[in-house]
Amino acid sequence: MKELIKRINGIDKNTKALIQQRLNEFKSFKDKNSEEWFSELCFCILTANSRAKTAINIQNELGPNGFINKKQSELVETIKRNKHRFHNNKAKYILEARKYKDIRSIIEGKSETEARAWIVANIKGLGYKEASHFLRNTGHFKLAILDRHIINLMFEHNLINSIPKPIKKSDYLL
């Protein structure tokens, strides 16, 4: 644990500044409109089992209005053009998520734990990790995003006794 703290404290000033800038962007997301929140939800749908860079490219190409208004075939084509492996499923999940395009007001007033549970129960294609990711990206910081990298780091520094495979709901609800 001391080694991990030492490594974290050793991050150079430029990197710390970039991290702080990104955290500030997440904090300011709370002021964005419903369309931007839905776009972020779609981004998180796209990042599940994919690379963030691919999802960013798709998000930039479609924009909030594209996620809300494009036909399924147009979503499939855009997702496919950006070399996403699951273009048909992701387009379908985005279409289904449109029922909740006002996601901001839906989760407003819920605790972060309640909001995450609601997202997992209602947004097809999102599990606990991506629901936590969405909440973090929209300015909610109380939930952990447990991915393989974090789990491995925790194991390396004796914060956990073993590496769970796969990460289960109970691992998120500790």
For 91, the token pair is 């387009």
pLDDT band at 18 (very low <50, low <70, confident <90, very high): confident
Q: Which of 151, 112, 108, 102 is nearest to 133 (CA)?
A: 112
**What is the residue extent of each domain of the chain?**
32-137
For residues 26 and 123, what is the distance between their CA atoms, to the nearest angstrom? 21
More confident residue, 173 or 26: 26
Over residues 138-162, the mean pLDDT reads 87
Q: Does domain 32-137 have CATH number 1.10.340.30?
A: yes
Residue 79 has pLDDT above 80, yes or no: yes
Mean pLDDT of the chain: 91
What pLDDT, in 10s, does the model give residues 31-43? 999 999 999 999 9
- Contact of 79 with 90, CB cutoff 8 Å: yes
Q: What is the pLDDT of residues 82-137, one digit of tens each?
A: 999 899 999 999 999 999 999 999 999 999 999 999 999 999 999 999 999 999 99
123 burial via Cβ count (<10 Å: 0-12, 13-18, 19+): buried
State the pLDDT at residue 1: 73
> Is the distance from CB of 147 to CB of 172 less than 8 angstroms?
no
Q: Which tokens go with 115? A: 């909001």
Q: Which residues are catalytic?
A: 129, 147
Q: Look up residue 105 and give its two tokens.
A: 């007001």
